[in-house]
Structure 1
Amino acid sequence: METPLLKDGDAGNRLKAENGDYAEVKCISEAATVFKEETIKLWKIAMPLVFNIVCYYATTSLTNIFVGHLGELQLSAISISVSVIYTFAFGYMLGMGSALETLCGQSFGAGQVHMLGIYMQRSWIILLLSSLVLLPIYIFAAPVLKFLGQDPDVANLAGQYTILTLPSVFSLAISFPTQKFLQAQSKVDVMAWIGLIVLIEHAVLLWLFIPVMGWGLRGAAAAFNITEWVTAIAQLVYVFGWCKDAWKGFSWDAFKEIWAFVRLSIASAVMLCLEIWYMMSIPLLAGHLPNAVIIIGSLSICSFVIEVGKFCHGTILLEARPTKFSVYVAVFQSLIIGLLCMVLILVTKDYFAVIYTDSKELQQSVSKLAWFLGVTMVLNSVQPVISGVAVGLGWQATVANINLACYYAFGIPLGYILGYVANFGVMVEETSSRMQKWGGQDISTHKVGDDI
């Protein structure tokens, strides 16, 4: 039986079918109305979270900008530290806390709002214990990077920076659960405001510690630690002061059923880690190529643009209703955004690297990568949205298997073949001499301790 139309002015001018989706659209005007309705709902939910993600990745970009003007070696060192060590920790911690997203969403939907605080405390306990596992990786970062085949000078400097950022690991154990706690209650506006304030604070600290006080990478590490903990503390202040329904204080119930909590996160953890750790493998492979300092530096500049687009697009469908028309709208709009980003990158390919570095050689390397960066932005505009649909439907295990096949059975071997066997590298031409000069000295004889 055909579903009758609602009166003009009702949401979408359509009755919903039993599955919660719209009834069949039969003309262009109805399609336009549904498109408008879905767009409003989509961006009302996703915009604050997208903005928060942009602010989060902008803090990393700002760090690269300030450090990049110190020199190529420093930029490469901080890039390999963030891309390998921090990305490993980020994926691991995010995966271990992933059960909270499911449990908080279910409890809030069932009206058991008080359980959100219990689950958040339980996640704090698990992630704080998980942080201890990461300590050896941070402490022995330099030997680990050398074992993985990275340039010794880059690895040594990256290891020193990584140890200095160790306090930030424990902030993740607080931030991730608190974000999921707020997100389940749709308190996303406060997350956006915190993201903006923290971004401004981070920029001020970087300016104060690096150009003004001359602390170099030590200043970058100090600013990063402070920023991570300011984020965590600001979220806690809001939870303790303005979430009285969901936060009833500390409870011993948080220690119950911890193992079940851990088991629930395994599928999501595998899915997230496979995707995030794949990005870690790219600079590792690049570190084996000639001119590793230049190559890693150019990849670091491009990776920020890629990651922001990827996570922003993914957020749209992770937070939206996974109905048929919401999927259509999200995929279409994400594709348009991806195309606009590609055009912007291609138009500014000879200029945008100037923000990050004064090195002419590094700027030219980034310019040569612009076409690949633009195509990647288009592809990344659709793939995360589809993944978001699958996560919204509870298909984490399926997505994990797909990621395993695409990233590790296909992506990494193809990258190795193109980079090493076919000698494509990352489209960076080798100079007549592989020994790059740094401040009038060969990198091989430059004292790493002087840079940090």
Structure 2
Amino acid sequence: MEGDQEEKLLIKEKTSEEESSLVNKVWEESKLMWTVAAPAIFTRFSSFGVTIISQAYVGHIGSRELAAFALVFTVLIRFANGILLGMASALSTICGQAFGAKEFDMMGVYLQRSWIVLFSTAFCLLPLFLFTSPILKLLGQDENIAEVAETISLWSIPILFSFIVSFTTQTFLQSQSRNTIIAFLAAFSLITHVSLSWLLTMNFKLGIPGAMLSTILASWIPNIGQVIFITCGWCSDTWKGLSFLAFKDLWPVVKLSLSSGVMLCLELWYNTILVLLTGNLNDAEVQIDALSICLNISGWEMMISLGFMAAASVRVANELGKGSSKAAKFSILVSVLTSLAIGFFLFLFFLLLREKLAYIFTSNEEVANAVADLSPLLAISILLNSVQPVLSGVAIGAGWQSSVAYVNIGCYYVIGIPVGMVLGEILHLQVKGIWIGMLFGTFIQTLLLIIITYKTNWDDQVIIARHRVNRWSKESADPERITSNN
């Protein structure tokens, strides 16, 4: 009997130690995750807040201006944002894994290469902003709204180029878990934007030019601060100055950037197509206004998920670079479950509020009622968005962008959009039917990403990451290397 009791006590002590060890592991991983996620979430809230503040002021100018602003920022800006953010995420893979492997010297060169690739891409996107009106008319949008949208799009060109510096410098700093400066600059930018928007739009009555000028300044203020922080001594280990090596071996960066851009662009442009399809329905102005409000509310929650996406990509890339597959898997689990818990709380919150939030953006009762009708779909969208971006962050950290791009094409554009068009136009469910179909595509995509992540051999991913870091470091260190080998 005494032996049995001693054995039971030993089992209890062992179980207690394991539970304590698990709690400590979760706590330590959570601290590492939140070191990246918290500033990233705050920064994205601030950046998204700049757009929301601009939209709020434009909405008080007129409903046509609000619809035009919604079209530009949910179609053109979201499209450009998706491409540039996606291409910048290639830098997250490279810098994150290099930092984990302690290959600090090359990180500044990777940043410069990303600048070259992204600025070239931005110039290719310029025609979309220069010829907005005919493009929107060709897509079936209202002519009066399209004319106002062209004015807004021309003012948006400096914002397009601000994305490049913003995304790349933030990624560079996040890979090193140096995020405090990013959050500080974002907060300063947001405060400045609130003051300038009121001054230029409401006080001086400058209308759309006033709102857009304030948005441009708010977009560039953090960029200038981040570049100064990186280049003036605060990142001495990872920034060694401008280098001609930035112009060498660009093709591997281009390939990874393109696959990254396709992956995230397909995700971010998904909601854009929802807006475009809505523009072809009856009573388009009210439908677009209501849907844009719902998407902006969803966008607020998406900023949290994108913060976790950044954290997941950094943690996975760092751990793969260090050679720890177990730590990479554990970081995935903690990130996904934390984001899901927050998403479930917000799911309930927005399901209960319904049309009440609509009055922040508009005083039109018809638009508010339309928002109330879409609220259940908004809540479901928020729940799905709490998981899917985090899994995309895992893909970025591991360098799976090409594979996930194919998943996105199948789930979003082969399943989601066709189902949505059938429900919306053939079964006459209007915008609700389109959104239901597209949410179904997102659900399928999320399931596939979960399966892919679960079945991945993470020991193999460590080998792949080490090979990538070693190959790129050796290639770049050889000044006589001929790039045609890639």
Q: TM-score, with normalisation over the residues of structure 1?
A: 0.84
Contact 2:113–2:247 (CA under 8 A) maintained in structure 1: yes
Contact 2:90 2:396 in 1 (8 A): no
The CA distance in 2 between the partners of 1:367 and 1:174, in whole Å, is 38
Q: Which residue of 2 aligns with 1:49?
A: 40
Which residue in the other structure is 1:261 paired with?
253
* 1:318 is aligned to 2:313: yes
Kindly indicate whether the alpha-carbon contact (under 8 Å) linking 2:169 and 2:226 is maintained by their aligned counterparts in 1. Answer: yes
The structure-2 alpha-carbon separation of the partners of 1:28 and 1:100, relative to structure 1 and needing over 3 Å to count, comes to closer
Range moving further from structure 2, 42-51 or 103-112: 103-112
Q: Does the Cα contact within 8 Å between 1:141 and 1:158 map onto a contact in 2?
A: yes
CA distance in 2, matches of 1:327, 1:103: 18
User: What amino acid maps onto 2:428 in structure 1?
Assistant: N
Residue 86 of structure 1 and its aligned partner are, at CA, apart by: 0.8
User: Does the Cα contact within 8 Å between 2:82 and 2:265 map onto a contact in 1?
Assistant: yes
Give the aligned residue type for 2:420. Answer: G
Specify which of 368, 376, 397 is matched with residue 392 of structure 1: 397
What's the counterpart of residue 277 of structure 1? 269
Amino acid at match of 1:336: A
State the one-letter code of the partner of 1:83: T
1:138 aligns with 2:133: no
Aligned residues: 407
- CA 1:319–1:253 in structure 2 vs 1: closer, same or farther (change >3 Å)? closer
Q: CA deviation at 1:343?
A: 2.0
Instruction: Determine helix, strand or coil for the equivalent of 1:218.
Output: helix
Any idea what SS the aligned residue of 1:191 has?
A: helix
Aligned counterparts of 2:174 and 2:44: Cα–Cα separation in 1: 13
Matched letter for residue 403 of structure 1: N
- 1:151 maps to a residue whose letter is D
Aligned to 2:356: 351
SS of equivalent to 1:262: helix
Q: 1:190 & 1:389 partners in 2: Cα distance? A: 24
Q: Is the 8 A contact 2:175 2:314 kept in 1?
A: no
Q: Distance in 2 between matches of 1:101 and 1:320?
A: 10
Structure 1 Cα separation of the partners of residues 184 and 192 of structure 2: 12
Tell me, yes or no, if the aligned pair for 1:71 and 1:357 is still in contact at 8 Å: no
Q: What is residue 283 of structure 2 aligned with on the other side?
A: 291
Matched, 1:92 2:83: yes
Match of 2:430 among 401, 410, 425: 425
State whether structure 2 residue 218 is matched by structure 1 residue 223.
no
**Residue pairs, 1:32-431, within 5 angstroms:** 32-241=23-232, 242-316=234-308, 317-321=312-316, 323-427=328-432
Structure 1 unaligned segments of length 5 or more: list them: 1-12, 15-23, 429-452
Residue type at the aligned position of 1:207: W
Whether the aligned pair in 2 keeps the contact of 1:313 and 1:384 (CA below 8 Å) is yes
1:284-304: CA deviation from partner (whole Å, max 9, x where unpaired): 001001111111111111112
**CA RMSD, Structure 1 to Structure 2 (Å):** 2.3
Structure 1 position 206, deviation (Å)? 1.1
Contact kept? 2:36, 2:174, Cα under 8 Å: no
Q: Deviations over 1:130-175 (max 9, x none)?
A: 2211121101001101111111111111111101221222222222
**Aligned partners of 1:29, 1:79: CA distance in 2, in Å?**
50
2:474 maps to which residue?
A: none
Amino acid at match of 2:219: E
How far apart in 1 are the matches of 2:93 and 2:29?
24
The structural deviation recorded for 1:245 is 2.6
Is the CA contact (8 Å cut-off) linking 2:99 and 2:175 kept in structure 1?
yes
Structure 1 range deviating more: 191-200 or 104-113: 104-113
For 2:414 and 2:369, the matched residues in 1 are separated by 32
- Whole-angstrom CA distance in 1 between matches of 2:154 and 2:118: 19
Q: How far off its partner does 1:31 sit?
A: 4.8
Against the structure 1 CA distance between its residues 95 and 323, is the aligned structure 2 distance closer, same or farther, given a 3 Å change threshold? closer
State the shift of 1:27 in Å: 6.6
Counterpart-to-counterpart distance in 1, 2:106 and 2:28 = 33
> Which residue type is aligned with residue 240 of structure 2?
K
Call closer, same or farther: CA 1:324–1:381 in 2, change over 3 Å.
Answer: same
- 2:261 alignment partner AA: A
Are 1:165 and 1:222, in contact at CA under 8 Å, matched by a contact in 2? Answer: no
The match for 2:464 is: none
Distance in 2 between residues matched to 1:327 and 1:245, nearest whole Å: 28
Q: In structure 1, what is the equivalent of residue 479 of structure 2?
A: none
SS in 2 for 1:319: helix
Aligned residue identity for 1:305: I
Deviation readout 1:50-107 (Å, 9 max, x if unpaired)? 1111111111111111112222211111000001111111122223333322222233
Q: 1:255 to 1:26 in 2, by over 3 A?
A: same
Q: Write the distance in 2 (CA, Å) between the matches of 1:320 and 1:117.
A: 20
Identical-residue share of aligned pairs (%): 38
- Whole-angstrom distance in 1 between the partners of 2:30 and 2:109: 35
Distance 1:83 1:292 in 2: 15
Residues in 1 aligned to 2:344 and 2:307: alpha-carbon distance in whole angstroms:
18
Aligned-pair distance for 1:275?
Answer: 0.9
Cα distance in 2 for partners of 1:77, 1:270 equals 26
- After TM superposition, give the deviation of residue 30 of structure 1 in Å: 5.4
Say if 1:90 and 1:314 are closer, same or farther in 2 by CA, change over 3 A: closer
Alignment check: 8 A CA contact 2:38 2:307 kept: no
CA apart distance, 1:35: 3.8
In structure 2, distance between residues paired with 1:26 and 1:243: 40
